[in-house]
């Protein structure tokens, strides 16, 4: 199926829509939690100067234009790095997709089922471009949440705004020129901004195409287009090889969505699972640990770039910090990454004993960021070893509905009173049957 025709005409199967509904629930929860974070607040202050609009900014008592609401909500969704992941696109798919789709659905007066279908369409586009471009694109320094995410968001917005196939092609090529995002900004407030920019750019690209703005239709596959300029793994001429089964195979079902149960970079999760399990099973304290050695794949060190983090944001991209937190506290939650935790003497002492290195014996065929081989050496001479291939929350070990609900509530009460958070949970759980998404977003206001 032609990519533009797929975006316009695709009919996702019920299982794909159900997966999208779980992703939307999880993402709205982390958006509410992230709305009070400094990065989100900065964006809210800036867009407030542009005045109100038809779309709600979640977790904040304000409205904005569709593009500005998408910017604010996408930034908030990624502010805690608690939003989901996809190991094909190597992106956080839902932060931009949900923020963009909510804004476009509010603008269009669309219902919940239309929003879920648009989410699936955007996810499929991201998955296909991920297969074409990664790992070379990601390893080169591009942040896929923002680069590939911009194309996915444009697809979702185009679907909700009812663009025809010709306009969709222009929307995608407009989005190709908007896409950006650099991994050197990991551990700063710009990283969550990447998700907000992708969401905003998706809305903007679709609206511009809707109003007749045209692009060069070779802007994705051309010799100086998106794929070539951004170091695609595949030759741009071979894009059809990952697009030919659009509508016949569903990436959201085959590879799935990874729900985060720790608010840190996904590359830390396999090791965190292992360390927390070992601590529970073997019952040791941080001061009993002589050394922790963590073997990872070759991509992980390009992501976990802060060995000695200076603040909570950098700590989310620090294997030594996350490992230290696991053995010091026995848990890793939102509060673990407050700035003061970085200066906790127990953490400072423990992280000095953590080393991370590339382990060439790990499975080279496994997706990047999904494996860890952990060795814990204790003062009493014991040596504890364990390996991880994936982590809790991954598609192979999905979070239970009760875990998703508990995560939603723990996030939502950071922005809403308990009773309002419970109403919000009920509203989002029933999103597919909702005929006007604006009744859902109303329940998400403080």
Q: Is there a contact between 219 and 176 (Cβ–Cβ < 8 Å)?
A: yes
Tokens representing residue 396 in the block: 């192979």
Residues 73 and 307: their CA atoms lie apart, in Å, by 30
Tokens representing residue 375 in the block: 């060795």
pTM: 0.92
Query: If residue 272 lies in a helix (H) or strand (E), which one and from where to where?
Result: helix 269-282
Residues 322 and 334: their CA atoms lie apart, in Å, by 12
Which of 143, 80, 7 minimizes the C-alpha distance to 312?
Answer: 80
Tokens representing residue 294 in the block: 């963590």
pLDDT for res 1: 66
Phi and psi torsions of 443, nearest 5°: -70, -10
Residues 164 and 5: their CA atoms lie apart, in Å, by 8
Query: If residue 62 lies in a helix (H) or strand (E), which one and from where to where?
Result: strand 62-64
User: Degrees (nearest 5) of the Cα angle 414, 191, 183?
Assistant: 150
Query: If residue 63 lies in a helix (H) or strand (E), which one and from where to where?
Result: strand 62-64
Crossing angle (nearest 10°) for helices 14-34 and 66-78: 80
Domains of the chain (ranges, CATH numbers): 3-261+401-442 (1.10.4100.10), 266-389 (3.30.1330.120)
- CA torsion, ordered 27, 32, 33, 34, to nearest 10 deg: 80
Q: Is there a contact between 115 and 437 (Cβ–Cβ < 8 Å)?
A: yes
Cα four-point dihedral sign 62, 209, 192, 432: positive
DSSP state, 367? Answer: P
Which of 127, 338, 351 minimizes the C-alpha distance to 252?
Answer: 127
Tokens representing residue 172 in the block: 């995608």
CA 76 to chain centroid: 11
How far is residue 422 from each of residues 100, 261, 411, 412, measured CA to CA in Å? 24, 20, 11, 9
Task: Return left, alpha or beta for 390; rule: phi > 0 is left, psi -120 to 50 is alpha, else beta.
Answer: left
Residues 75 and 70: their CA atoms lie apart, in Å, by 8
| Burial of 443 from C-beta contacts in 10 A (0-12 / 13-18 / 19+) | middle
Residues 262 and 407: their CA atoms lie apart, in Å, by 10
Q: Could you read off the pLDDT of 249-295 as tens digits, one per residue?
A: 999 999 999 999 999 999 999 999 999 999 999 999 999 999 999 99
Neighbours of 385 (CB within 10 A): 12
Residues of the chain with confidence (pLDDT) below 70:
1
What would the 3-class secondary structure string for 74-127 be? HHHHHCCCCCCEECCCCECCHHHHHHHHHHHHHHHCCCHHHHHHHHHHHHHHHH
> Please, what's the b/e burial string for 410-425 (b: 16 or more CB within 10 A of its CB; e: otherwise)?
ebbbbbbeeebbeebb
Tokens representing residue 303 in the block: 């992501």
- CA torsion, ordered 217, 222, 228, 229, to nearest 10 deg: -60
DSSP state, 5? Answer: H
Query: If residue 149 lies in a helix (H) or strand (E), which one and from where to where?
Result: helix 147-160
């Amino acid at each position: 199926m032609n990519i533009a025709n797929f975006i316009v005409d695709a009919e996702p199967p019920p299982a794909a829509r159900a997966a999208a509904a779980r992703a939307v629930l999880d993402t709205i929860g982390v958006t509410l939690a992230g709305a009070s974070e400094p990065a989100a607040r900065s964006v809210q202050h800036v867009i407030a100067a542009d005045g109100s609009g038809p779309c709600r900014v979640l977790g904040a008592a304000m409205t904005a234009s569709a593009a500005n609401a998408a910017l604010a909500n996408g930034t908030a969704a990624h502010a805690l790095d608690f939003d989901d992941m996809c190991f094909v696109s190597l992106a956080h798919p839902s932060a931009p997709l949900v923020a963009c789709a909510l804004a476009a659905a509010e603008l269009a007066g669309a219902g919940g089922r239309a929003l879920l279908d648009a989410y699936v369409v955007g996810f499929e586009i991201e998955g296909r471009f991920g297969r074409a471009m990664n790992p070379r694109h990601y390893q080169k320094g591009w942040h896929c949440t923002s680069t590939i995410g911009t194309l996915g968001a444009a697809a979702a917005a185009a679907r909700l705004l009812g663009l025809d196939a010709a306009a969709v092609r222009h929307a995608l090529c407009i989005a190709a020129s908007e896409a950006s995002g650099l991994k050197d900004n990991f551990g700063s407030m710009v990283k969550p901004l990447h998700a907000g920019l992708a969401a905003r750019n998706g809305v903007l690209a679709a609206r511009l195409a809707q109003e007749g703005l045209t692009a060069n239709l070779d802007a994705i596959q051309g010799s100086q287009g998106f794929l070539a300029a951004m170091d695609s793994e595949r030759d741009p001429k071979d894009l059809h090889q990952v697009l030919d089964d659009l509508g016949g195979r569903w990436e959201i079902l085959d590879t799935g969505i990874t729900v985060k149960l720790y608010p840190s970079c996904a590359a830390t999760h396999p090791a965190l699972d292992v360390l927390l399990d070992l601590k529970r099973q073997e019952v040791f304290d941080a001061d009993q640990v002589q050394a922790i050695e963590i073997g990872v794949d070759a991509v992980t060190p390009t992501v976990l770039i802060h060995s000695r983090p200076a603040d909570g944001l950098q700590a989310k991209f620090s294997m030594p910090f996350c490992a230290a937190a696991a053995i010091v506290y026995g848990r890793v939650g939102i509060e673990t990454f407050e700035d003061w935790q970085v200066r906790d003497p127990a953490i400072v002492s423990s992280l000095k004993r953590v080393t991370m290195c590339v382990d060439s014996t790990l499975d080279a065929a496994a997706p990047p960021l999904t494996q860890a081989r952990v060795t814990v050496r204790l003062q009493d001479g014991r040596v504890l070893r364990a390996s991880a291939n994936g982590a809790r929350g991954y598609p192979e070990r999905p979070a239970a509905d009760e875990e998703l609900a508990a995560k939603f509530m723990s996030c939502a009460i950071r922005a809403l009173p308990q009773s309002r958070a419970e109403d919000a949970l009920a509203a989002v759980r029933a999103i597919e049957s909702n005929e006007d998404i604006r009744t859902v977003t109303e329940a998400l206001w403080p």
